[in-house]
Amino acid sequence: MMKHIIRRLLGLVPTLIGITLISFFVIHIAPGKPTDIQTSMNPKVSYEARLRLEKLYGLDKPIYAQYLQWVKRFVSFDFGRSYLDDRPVSEKIAERIPITLLINFSAIILTLVIGIPLGILSAVRRGKLSDKLSTIFVFIGFSAPEFWLALLLMNLFCITLGWLPVSGIASLDFESFDTCGKIFDVARHLILPVTISAFASLAVISRYMRTEMIGIMGEDYIRTARAKGLDENTVIYKHALKNALLPIITILGLSVPGLIGGSVIFESIFAIPGMGRLFYESVMARDYPVIMGVLSIGAILTLAGNFMADIAYSYADPRIRVTKDKKLS
Amino acid sequence: MRNKLAAGASLFILLILLSAVFAPLIATHNPAAVDSRSVLTGPSRQHIFGTDRLGRDIFSRIVYGSRISLSIGFIAVGIAVLIGVFLGAAAGYYGGKLDMALMRFVDLMLCFPTIFLILAVIALLEPSILNIMVVIGLTSWMGIARLVRAQVLTLKERDFVAAAKVMGAKDSWIIFRHLIPNAIGPVLVSATLGVGGAILIESALSFLGIGVQPPTPSWGNILMDGRATLGIAWWLTVFPGLFILFTVLSYNIIGEALRDLLEPRLKK
């Protein structure tokens, strides 16, 4: 098992290098330089001053040299400083990341708590009314523009009814609350974004669960279990469910980039100061170091998600571990 | 019921397609005509979906917007299918180092939150319709490449491929004539779902202000236009949103029905 983990970890290094390479070149294919905003818009800036500024940021060097310099600093987790406010990029990201992770983790948990039972229900009552209704329900979540739902629900719950706070993650008088009050306050702010995010990803989990359950219910060992006279609940929840849950681990690992990407939308609409919002702001201001930092961290989070899913899977299903190791060695 | 649902979805898509093609005949007003006498009026007999803050007819804007939104869906998916089928078939057929390199590249691309990449490229270039189509296409071919590769891997061991080889067929003939046509089923499912996905991405880009730029109407930017006046003019936000929802929903239902047809394991 340990050998498997180490081998997988080493395999991540080239992927990580590839990710930083793609990010770097995507950013630099764009015409124009970030210094343009500070210089061309300002007629007082001389040509020499402009060159000095470019030199200060290292933008005068050829692109491969800029990349190598970036990598050199990246190894020690130094992403450089923001062009906007000169603060270290790592610091800017570090203060934003917990909020984004909190929202996404809550959304994943809510999705699982609703999606898995819904998928089982759909599979067991396949073709019945409850299957059809739940199918349509999850499909609507999957097909509706998230920000549209957010706008409508925000208008209903926050403005018309006044039950929930409109935006942000905490009230203005947040500091005056005790610990319990603080948790409650943040929870109230996060209800809408987390619910909508979970509604959107419900389809993936519940449909997958349904397909897996239907497939497994047709297997021989389920027939054996039924033939032994076990009652249907034991067959479904003890025999079938265990195997159907396995692929969900992989799906979760794969859903990380989608969730991180979705946070751009949610954080914009609910004015949540998270990583998605930071990315949007830095893209709009051509703040290269921050764009690179967020893209790399996003990709690292994705790799971490896939890695954990892989390890969890091979822990839960020994067949994977054995065949994979054999093939590789 | 399954089939009725899929039939209903197909009918809806057909209607939307027809209205996009025959937009000038179906629109009740000029979508760009500003009318200061009827600003922000609710749905009425004259303006069935109401008007926006410039007095433009929302129904007509949605009808014309369907041209833009659907073209983005189709062309983006077309690009993704082309790249995905080509790279997937090459990886599966030739195997070896090429396969390794291509699949590694697919893994890499899958590590990026797609919307981050799209956002970065569109914002740094410029949000033209062409850029939006191309960038969505360039960031959504990976699933199709994997599907095609897996299909080709099993197909190339089959006897009819061996027979073609024995008869002296060239690689390109085998790939385009024998392998790809047989691998196209799952691609069709994926492409159908992809059209809905691309329409959603365009609307999300509009929300962020870097989608199709006004005054050209797209479903996304009509919707966003109504954001500021949601409290007093709900029709501006609700109608375009419903069009996006029903269109994407229809594509997903059709895609799912196709998948059921092609996946024998799920058949009773």
- The per-residue pLDDT for range A280-312, each reduced to its tens digit, is 998 888 888 898 888 888 888 888 888 888 888
How far apart CA A275 and CA A297 sit, in angstroms, is 10
- Contact residues on chain B for A155, CB-CB shorter than 8 A: 230-231, 234
Asked if pLDDT for residue B268 goes beyond 50, the answer is no
Work out the average pLDDT over A197-206: 91
Asked if pLDDT for residue B264 goes beyond 70, the answer is no
Minimal CA separation from B176 to chain A, in Å? 30
Asked if pLDDT for residue A204 goes beyond 80, the answer is yes
- Residue A322: pLDDT band by 50, 70, 90 thresholds? low
| B147: Cβ contacts below 8 Å, ≥ 6 apart | B84, B88, B183, B186, B187, B190
- Residue A36: pLDDT band by 50, 70, 90 thresholds? low
CA atoms within a 13 Å half-sphere pointing along the CA-CB vector of B125: 16
CB contact under 8 A, A132 and B1: yes
Asked if pLDDT for residue A146 goes beyond 60, the answer is yes
Closest partner CB to B120 (pick from A127, A146, A291)? A291
How far the first Cα of chain B sits from its last, in Å, is 15
- Contact residues on chain B for A284, CB-CB shorter than 8 A: 123
How far apart CA A146 and CA A265 sit, in angstroms, is 8
Q: Do the Cβ atoms of B80 and B137 come closer than 8 Å?
A: yes
- The pTM for the full model equals 0.86
Closest partner CB to A143 (pick from B109, B124, B248)? B248
- Contact residues on chain A for B245, CB-CB shorter than 8 A: 140, 143-145, 148
Q: Do the Cβ atoms of B149 and B183 come closer than 8 Å?
A: no
For an interface test with B, give the residue of A134, A147, A161 to mutate (most B CBs within 10 A). A147
Q: Do the Cβ atoms of B66 and B15 come closer than 8 Å?
A: no
Does residue B168 or residue A321 have the better pLDDT? B168
CB contact under 8 A, A211 and B266: yes
Amino acid at B117: L
Work out the average pLDDT over B34-38: 77
How far apart CA A301 and CA B116 sit, in angstroms, is 14
CB contact under 8 A, B114 and A257: yes
- Contact residues on chain A for B114, CB-CB shorter than 8 A: 257-258, 261
The chain A residue lying nearest B107, using CA atoms, is A15
Work out the average pLDDT over A28-41: 63
Using the Cβ of B170 and the Cβ atoms of chain A, whether some distance falls under 8 Å is answered with: no
Q: Mean of the per-residue pLDDT values for chain B?
A: 87
For an interface test with A, give the residue of B107, B116, B199 to mutate (most A CBs within 10 A). B116
Asked if pLDDT for residue A320 goes beyond 70, the answer is no
pLDDT at A241: 85
Does residue A102 or residue A175 have the better pLDDT? A102
Helix residue ranges per DSSP H, chain B: 2-21, 23-26, 58-94, 96-111, 114-124, 129-138, 142-155, 159-166, 171-173, 180-207, 219-225, 235-262
The chain B residue lying nearest A156, using CA atoms, is B231
The chain B residue lying nearest A300, using CA atoms, is B111
Work out the average pLDDT over B117-146: 89
How far apart CA A64 and CA A69 sit, in angstroms, is 9
Q: Mean of the per-residue pLDDT values for chain A?
A: 82
- Contact residues on chain A for B200, CB-CB shorter than 8 A: 143, 145
Using the Cβ of B232 and the Cβ atoms of chain A, whether some distance falls under 8 Å is answered with: no
User: What's the pLDDT tens digit per position in B45-93?
Assistant: 888 888 888 878 889 999 999 999 999 999 999 999 999 999 999 999 9
Reading the block at residue A180, the tokens are 């319990």
Residue-range domains of chain B with CATH: 2-30+47-267 (1.10.3720.10)
pLDDT at A141: 92
- Contact residues on chain B for A22, CB-CB shorter than 8 A: 108-109, 112
- Residue A325: pLDDT band by 50, 70, 90 thresholds? low
How far apart CA A117 and CA B56 sit, in angstroms, is 47
Which among A57, A91, A67 has a CA at the least distance from the CA of A18?
A: A67
| A255: Cβ contacts below 8 Å, ≥ 6 apart | A108, A201, A204, A305
- Contact residues on chain B for A215, CB-CB shorter than 8 A: 265-266
- Residue A18: pLDDT band by 50, 70, 90 thresholds? confident
Percent pLDDT > 90 in chain B is 40
CB contact under 8 A, B204 and A146: yes
Does residue B263 or residue B257 have the better pLDDT? B257
pLDDT at B259: 83
pLDDT at A41: 58
Closest partner CB to A260 (pick from B105, B113, B249)? B113
User: What ipTM was predicted for this assembly?
Assistant: 0.84
Which single residue is written with the structure tokens 């987390």?
A194
pLDDT at A328: 47
Closest partner CB to A143 (pick from B104, B116, B252)? B252
pLDDT at B200: 92
Does residue B125 or residue A47 have the better pLDDT? B125
Which long-range CB contacts under 8 A does B98-101 form with residues at least 24 apart? B99/B149
Using the Cβ of B21 and the Cβ atoms of chain A, whether some distance falls under 8 Å is answered with: no
Q: Which of A104-118, A163-177, B15-29, B245-259 has the lowest mean pLDDT?
A: A163-177
Asked if pLDDT for residue A327 goes beyond 90, the answer is no
Does residue B268 or residue A277 have the better pLDDT? A277
User: What's the pLDDT tens digit per position in B142-176?
Assistant: 999 999 999 899 888 888 888 888 888 888 888 88
The chain B residue lying nearest A275, using CA atoms, is B116
- Contact residues on chain B for A29, CB-CB shorter than 8 A: 121, 124
For an interface test with A, give the residue of B100, B103, B110, B111 to mutate (most A CBs within 10 A). B111
Using the Cβ of B119 and the Cβ atoms of chain A, whether some distance falls under 8 Å is answered with: yes
